[in-house]
Structure 1
Amino acid sequence: MPPTSTVELDLTRLDHNIAQIRRIIGSQVRLCCVLKADGYGLGAPRIAQRMESLGVDMLAVYTPDQALQLVTAGISRTPILVFMPLDDLDRTNPLYRSLISGRLHCVVHDEAHLDRLARLGHRYGCSVPVHVEIDTGMSRGGIAPQQAGAVLQTIQQNRYVRLAGLLTHYANADNGRETTIQQLDAFQAFLNDHAAMIPTDCTVHSAGTHAMFRFPQTHQQMVRIGLAWAGYGPDDEDMQHPETGEMQAASSSSHFLPIARWRSSIVHVKRIEAETPVGYGWTWKARRPTRIGLVPVGYADGYPVALSNRAMVMVRTLDDQWYPAPVIGRVSMDQMTIDLTDFAPEQIILGSEVELFGCQRDAPNDVPMLAQQSDSIMYELLCRLSPRIPRVYRIFEKSPEPCRSDQKAQTDPCRTRDDAQSDSNPAVARCSCLEGKRKDTGGGRHVSTHGRVAGGIRRDHSCPTGSDSG
């Protein structure tokens, strides 16, 4: 049986995004790509393999198990930074070789943690590369600047640990200029005050995705980039220089391309009469005779209940066009219902493709828009994608710009067995609903305003057929 849904990852777009990041930071700044939580739910091992082939300077994860996942996948040249305190490591663990070879780097959170890492280095006769995190205001992990100097002194005196990096983490780089500058100043003051204890080969890093775009002075010697490599995060506001308001060179939002696409299909179609309620709690009621499509995806797959009666999906018709359809009724565990009333009956069949998460900016099912509609963030929407959904990795022969296009795709040779199930339909038509203007119907929902087109399919899906009673 084929899977009920599939997450497709465009590795050509990943290549493009990495190149754009390199253009922004320049050749003198190193690039660390963050792959926490299985690469934000997109599949860390395969993405890490691609990143290593692109020459990314470092990969970062949170837990040792996440690092183990990368090493098991064959990551052997790129250093891996572990943010979570690492206390012990058995010689039988595959991470052992990464540790003794200096490819496993550990973030230090306090002096006691440093002592445990030094004991680990002593046990295996190696010098553990450590990055000391200076807590300049995040108040999460790391060491207060007042205590961090003593940690640097201990590192100087212990040959079983090596100061490989110094870092801090900005709390409000997405929208807080004053607080970010305040943290940067505190970090820089610490660096200045302890310059004598910082070796020349120590990598200083503090910028994440938002800081990279909005605060060039935070680039320092390395940037740590999360969702920007996947084409998410930066918008026009992030691209503007915080003082002049001008767009920074080579950093327009159009230069970044979302790589992820979540698709399913219609498995059942039925008609209901006007005034008929739909779903648990009867949160939606038809205002007219309505055609309903059943999609075998629900909150167990990671589609938020909060998008019930709010979101749109994109549906592919038989003439290879894409149009929005509202999600109606409460999202269930394994299924959801969409309104197909405005589609010509002959254009929708069982098996018609449904796109839940799109990879075209400003589409009704764009991940940033869905995050806003569900009162969440993009990171959460992607991370909650269930592991039971196969991830399929594609490499396109042509330019990565179109998301749904006629360009020929190749299935990645490193795909999993589940990946191969989706190889029969590698390329689909570009979404034509984005060619016109869009309007805001309230609640953050944007819809197309095209009106009727050939085939009797409407594109002005402002959900006129039902009411939200929940």
Structure 2
Amino acid sequence: MPRLVQQGRECSRGVSRVFEVQPAAPAVLTIDLDAVVANWRRIAREVAPASAAAVVKADAYGLGAAQVVPVLVAAGCQHFFVAHQSEAEKIRDLVPDDALLAVLNGLHAGGEAAAAAMGITPVLNSVGQAQRWQAQAERLGRVLPALLQVDTGMARHGLAPDEVLPLAQDEAFRRAVPLVAVMSHLACSDEPDHQANADQAKAFAALAQGFPDVPRCFANSGGALLGAAFHGDLVRPGLALYGAEPADGRGEPFAPVVQLQARVVQTREISAGTPVGYGHSWQAAKPTRLATLSIGYADGFPRSLSNRGAAWARGHVLPIVGRVSMDVTVVDISALHAGALAEGDLVEIIGPHRSIEAVAQEAGTIAYELLTQLGHRYQRVYKGGCISAVDR
């Protein structure tokens, strides 16, 4: 199990406590809950009068839905999206009964009764999902709300354009399944100038006309930054809430949420020609000082960072040398004064000097993947999260 630490005030009791990083922790993942709230509030301000939801799928992008959802509820968020029904069931008790808890992938056949009993709202992505949800409503003799997704050019989720109008004209469906929103998903919102954004907006507007009185939900994090034409009535940011930049680094950066530090296991000096790590993929060209860090691919630290990534300490970038192993990674600390790093010291892996976007780029991936792969061997330290009514 991950080790969880909450820094600062204990809200329910009003007690001030300070928690120390555990000296035995191999690495420390610090998650700033106040920054999550600040990022949600920023988006809510920018998209008003539309409402801002929160996408908390994949355990709140790897940061802990059990910790993230309550602070967003306290901040006033009333709309939550997850990917799977099982994720919704895990956080059902954290979300108010009158708030929206929606499942983006919809429901697998057979899950309808449990979802209806728990007040979980599916996103209907196919005619089959819509028919099964309607049948469940009719069995129960009551209406069951849903969102309806239409495909506007991503060929992933949603009704095909020729399936939309027949469902819109199906009076029995509309009586049994009142639609919370009609929605779609942007494929290229991380590239603001991509023609696909305008093309999808046009397609969505046309398809949504079949549901004239139903709210519209279109924009993800990147879409929220594209302007009012993309906002509709409800936006559903995910990545931006967790401090990563959703679109080509344009505009003011979002508040950083994550800091990851790894502990020095040992240091050593090697002579020229000495190989390092599995496969001897790196050899020292000159006498070199090394530090072995307690972080590896079992912790979600990408193996693709072998011989190309870096850590940071004492004002210097520390290049990774050799392959990232399951449990450890070796960095070159020759730029530091001898003795500047010792066993037990922490070095920055992600943080103010090593942004999550920079680390992801070096790894040949994206911030989404890096966040959601953050491991459970870290000591997790949660900062902030105490929100009073006056703070809203």
Deviations 1:161-199 (A, max 9, x none): 21111011111122253211111111111223x2xx443
d(CA) in 1 for partners of 2:302, 2:173: 52
* CA gap 1:90/1:189 in 2 versus in 1, 3 angstroms: closer
- CA RMSD across the alignment: 2.2
Give the match for residue 428 of structure 1.
none
Give the match for residue 56 of structure 1.
77
Matched, 1:205 2:222: no
* CA gap 1:309/1:12 in 2 versus in 1, 3 angstroms: same
Deviations 1:282-334 (A, max 9, x none): 1111122212111111111111111111111122xxxxx45321111100011
Give the match for residue 9 of structure 1.
31
Matched, 1:218 2:218: no
| Residue 151 of structure 2, aligned match among 135, 139, 147 | 135
Which AA in structure 1 matches 2:376?
P
Shift of 1:65: 0.8
Q: Is the 8 A contact 1:155 1:163 kept in 2?
A: no
d(CA) in 2 for partners of 1:159, 1:74: 27
d(CA) in 2 for partners of 1:322, 1:121: 61
Give the match for residue 103 of structure 2.
82
Give the match for residue 190 of structure 1.
207
* CA gap 1:285/1:157 in 2 versus in 1, 3 angstroms: closer
Give the match for residue 298 of structure 2.
300
Alignment of 1:159-170 (within 5 A): 159-170=175-186
For the residue of structure 1 that corresponds to 2:236, the secondary structure is strand
Q: Is the 8 A contact 2:150 2:182 kept in 1?
A: yes
Shift of 1:78: 2.6
Alignment of 1:31-180 (within 5 A): 31-73=52-94, 76-86=97-107, 87-89=109-111, 96-99=116-119, 104-154=120-170, 157=173, 159-175=175-191, 176-180=193-197
* CA gap 1:164/1:74 in 2 versus in 1, 3 angstroms: closer
Which AA in structure 2 matches 1:183?
Q
Matched, 1:393 2:391: no
* CA gap 1:387/1:77 in 2 versus in 1, 3 angstroms: farther
Shift of 1:346: 2.9
Shift of 1:139: 0.3
Q: Structure 1 unaligned runs (5+)?
A: 240-251, 316-320, 397-409, 413-470
d(CA) in 2 for partners of 1:296, 1:307: 15
Give the match for residue 4 of structure 2.
none
Shift of 1:382: 1.0
Shift of 1:48: 1.0
Which AA in structure 2 matches 1:306?
S
d(CA) in 2 for partners of 1:20, 1:173: 18
Give the match for residue 336 of structure 2.
343
d(CA) in 2 for partners of 1:105, 1:286: 58
d(CA) in 2 for partners of 1:278, 1:80: 50
With the length of structure 2 as denominator, give the TM-score of the two structures: 0.86
For the residue of structure 2 that corresponds to 1:346, the secondary structure is coil
Give the match for residue 289 of structure 1.
287
Identity across aligned pairs (percent)?
28
Count of equivalent residues:
363
Which AA in structure 2 matches 1:393?
Y
Deviations 1:389-432 (A, max 9, x none): 34321018xxxxxxxxxxxxx9x9xxxxxxxxxxxxxxxxxxxx
Give the match for residue 25 of structure 1.
47
Greater Cα offset, 290-299 or 68-77: 68-77
Give the match for residue 309 of structure 2.
311
* CA gap 1:322/1:76 in 2 versus in 1, 3 angstroms: farther
* CA gap 1:157/1:269 in 2 versus in 1, 3 angstroms: closer
d(CA) in 1 for partners of 2:171, 2:178: 6
Higher relative contact order (CA 8 A, sep 6+): 2
Give the match for residue 381 of structure 1.
370
Q: Is the 8 A contact 1:52 1:77 kept in 2?
A: no
For the residue of structure 1 that corresponds to 2:232, the secondary structure is coil
Q: Is the 8 A contact 1:31 1:56 kept in 2?
A: yes
For the residue of structure 2 that corresponds to 1:189, the secondary structure is helix
Give the match for residue 372 of structure 1.
361
With the length of structure 1 as denominator, give the TM-score of the two structures: 0.73
